[in-house]
Chains A and B, each alone.
Chain A
C-alpha cells in the first residue's frame, strides 16, 4: 500500500517506534501476496455470488469507540448498520507478517474494487478498530482515514479510550488478544491476536467470518455481492 504524503508528515512527528512499525506494516501490506493456498478458493471451486445463503451468525458488537477526537465518543453500532461493513482489528505497529498486514492487503483489494465498481459504491464500508489505544490515538486514526478513505468507499479507523472499552468488543466477537511480555516481565508493544475479518450486513448481523489463513478478497467480494443481491 503506498504511504500517502500526509501520513508521512504525520508520522515524522511521532515516535520512532510508531514510525518503524507503520513503515514495516505498509511495506508488508504492499508486498505480501494472498497466501498460496487461498488462490484456488475463488474461481471454479467457489460458488457464484447469490447462489448461496450467508447465515446470520451473531449480532454485531456494541460499545463505545473514538474516531477523530478523544472528546467525542461514538457508538460502534453507528459503523455497522445501514451499509454492508467489512470489519476487523488492527494496530499500527503490528509487525507480524501473518497478522495485520494480511488484513491490510485484503482490505486494500476490497477497497480498490469498491472504488472501481459503481454497484458497490456507497453500499459498502470498511472499518478497522485498533487493538492498541495508547499508541493509536484518534489523531492518528483520522490521518489514516483522511489518507485512504473516499466518500464512495468509506474506510473508518477507530480506536478506544483504553483496553477496558476494547475488551468487551473483542469478547463479543471471540477474538483473543493479549499483550506479550519480555523476559523481565514488562509489557512489550507486541499484541498477539487472532486475525478475524467480519462481514456485517446492513441490519448489523455478522454474516461471514474470515481467518487470516483463508482470507481471500475475491471470496469477500463474492460474499458482499451475495448480500447485495439479497437486499434486492
Chain B
C-alpha cells in the first residue's frame, strides 16, 4: 500500500508555473499546502456522509465539475464509496497536494485519496489503527505540515469526553508523534481546529466536545445540562517548533474554525464560538503577548443560531459565517478586525454548514450537513451543494446538486482541485 501511495511523482503541484506558495491556498488550507489555485478551480470534492435509505448508504467522496466551460459543469462526475457509515467529517490535502486525507469521527478510520487524476479520486490507503496508536478518538482536522499530516482529534478512547490531542503522521501514513492537549495553566484538554502561522512560529488550537456529545442526538443533548457543560472554552497558542503551549486563552462557548489573516504583515486570527454566537479575535498586544478578544456577535445569540463554518477572504477584508440552525450565511466586513461588521446575509435553506471561498473571492460554495445526529429531521433535512458567484454585493446562484435526489447522502466538507498538463519526471 505504501508503494501505491508513492507510486508516481505528483503531477498536481505545478509550483513553478507561477510564484511560489504564499501564506495559504483557497484561503483556509494549511499555509504549507502547495499548488495554490488562484484562478478557476476545476473540481469540487465533497466528503459525504452515507445516509440510511439514500443510495448505497455508504460514506463517499463525491466529485463535482465546477469548471464553467465544461460540458459537465455543475454535475457529479465521480463518486467513490468507502464502505459503511463512520461519521465522515473533514478532509485535508498533504503538503504536495497529491493526496487528500479524509476522516470519520465515529469509527476513526482515515482514508487517503490519490488525486493524480482529480476527476477520479481513488483510495490508496486506509488507516484503521488511529485509536490504538494514539489513544485519541475522532480524527477531525487534517492539517498539512512539510512531509507530514497533523491531525487534531476530538476525544479519547477511555472516557469518550473532550480530553484529546494532536497526532502527527508522515505522508506515508506512519505515526510520528502524539501531543496531548494541555490541562495545565487553564487548559481544558479539548481540541477542534488547528491554525499555524509559520512566520510567527505559532500554532493556535480551538476546542469543541467529545464523542459522547457529538454522537448524541442534538435535541436530546441540548436538554441535558450535564452534556451542555462538556464543551470546550479555550484556545491554546503553541510554540509550533517545540509543540509546547505558550498561553491558554479563555474563549467560552466552543470556539471552532480558526482563520489566520493571510496578509504577511498581520498578526491575528479569528474564530467563531458555536454556543455563544460570538466572533473572537486572537492578536498580539503591544507587548507581543497573545490575547483573545470578543469582537462581535453573530445574529441573535439568544436564539442560538449556532455558527459553524467560517471562510476568510485572501485579502483578510471579508469573512463568511454560516449559522446552522437558521440556515443563514452572513458576510462580515473585516477591514477592522477589532470590529467586524455584518454587511450581507442570505437564507440558504433549512440548514447550512460548510462554506468554501475561492482564492479570488469570486465563487462561494455551501453544503448542509453538520453531524449525522445533529442534522435536522424530516423535510428540514435538506442535503445539497450550492454554488454561487459573489460580486461583493450579493450571491448569485450558479447551480445546485441535491444530494438526496442524486442518492448520495449528507454533503459535508469541500476541497478544490485543478487539472494539470505537465508530465511527472520518470513517467
Chain A residues packing against B (C-beta within 8 Å): 36-38, 40-41, 44-47, 51-53, 55-58, 96, 98-99, 102, 131, 163-164, 166-168, 170-181, 187, 190-196, 206, 209-214, 219
Contacts and interface: CB of A to CB of B under 8 A. Distances in A.
B422 A46 contact: no
Contact of B241 (A36, A47, A176, A209): A47
A136 to B, nearest CB: 13
Nearest to B423: A178
Interface string B102-143: 000000000000000000000000000000000000000000
Given A47-B242, A211-B34, A171 B6 contact: yes
A211 B201 contact: no
B98 interface: yes
A112 B381 CA distance: 64
A211 B95 contact: yes
B52 interface: no
Contacts of A46: 201, 241
B219 interface: no
B424 A211 contact: no
Contacts of A212: 20-21
Contacts of A211: 21, 32, 34, 95, 146
B200 A45 contact: yes
Given A37-B23, A178-B420, A180-B17, 9 more contacts: A41-B198, A56-B176, A96-B20, A102-B20, A176-B11, A176-B34, A177-B424, A213-B20, A213-B21
Contacts of B10: 174, 176, 178, 194
A209 B7 CA distance: 21
A193 B422 CA distance: 11
B20 A177 contact: no
30 contacts: A37-B199, A40-B199, A41-B199, A45-B201, A47-B241, A53-B242, A56-B176, A58-B147, A163-B425, A166-B426, A167-B8, A167-B9, A167-B427, A170-B9, A170-B426, A171-B7, A174-B95, A174-B147, A175-B96, A176-B97, A178-B10, A178-B425, A181-B421, A190-B16, A194-B34, A196-B147, A209-B147, A211-B32, A212-B21, A219-B241
B96 A194 contact: yes
Nearest to B148: A57
B242 A52 contact: yes
B199 A178 contact: no
A206 B147 contact: yes
Contacts of B23: 37, 213
Interface of B: 6-17, 19-23, 31-32, 34-35, 94-98, 146-148, 168, 170-172, 174, 176-177, 198-202, 239, 241-244, 264, 288, 420-427
Majority secondary structure of chain B interface residues (helix, strand, loop or mixed): loop
Q: Which 10 A-B pairs have the closest CB atoms?
A: A167-B426, A176-B10, A98-B20, A52-B242, A209-B146, A176-B13, A178-B422, A192-B16, A37-B264, A209-B147
B30 to A, nearest CB: 11
Nearest to B13: A176
Contacts of B171: 58, 174
Given A171-B6, A174-B96, A192 B426 contact: no
Contact of B98 (A174, A179, A190): A174
Contacts of B423: 178-179, 181, 187
A161 B242 CA distance: 40
Nearest to B31: A213
Nearest to B18: A98
Contact of B168 (A55, A102, A177): A55
Given A176-B9, A178-B11, A192 B200 contact: no
A166 to B, nearest CB: 6
A212 B19 CA distance: 11
A146 B170 CA distance: 36
A163 B8 CA distance: 12
B97 to A, nearest CB: 8
Given A36-B264, A213-B20, A181 B422 contact: yes
B425 A174 contact: no
Contacts of A96: 16, 20
A194 B198 contact: no
A57 B422 contact: no
Contacts of A167: 8-9, 424-427
B87 to A, nearest CB: 29
Contact of B147 (A57, A131, A177): A57
A34 to B, nearest CB: 12
Contacts of A179: 422-423, 425
A62 to B, nearest CB: 13
Given A58-B147, A99-B16, A166 B425 contact: yes
Nearest to A38: B199
Contacts of A45: 200-202
Contact of A176 (B98, B148, B421): B98
B15 A57 contact: no
A178 B147 contact: no
B16 A191 contact: yes
Contacts of B20: 96, 98-99, 102, 195, 212-213
A149 to B, nearest CB: 26
Contact of B200 (A40, A53, A213): A40
Contacts of B239: 47, 52
A192 B199 contact: no
A170 B7 CA distance: 11
A212 B15 CA distance: 11
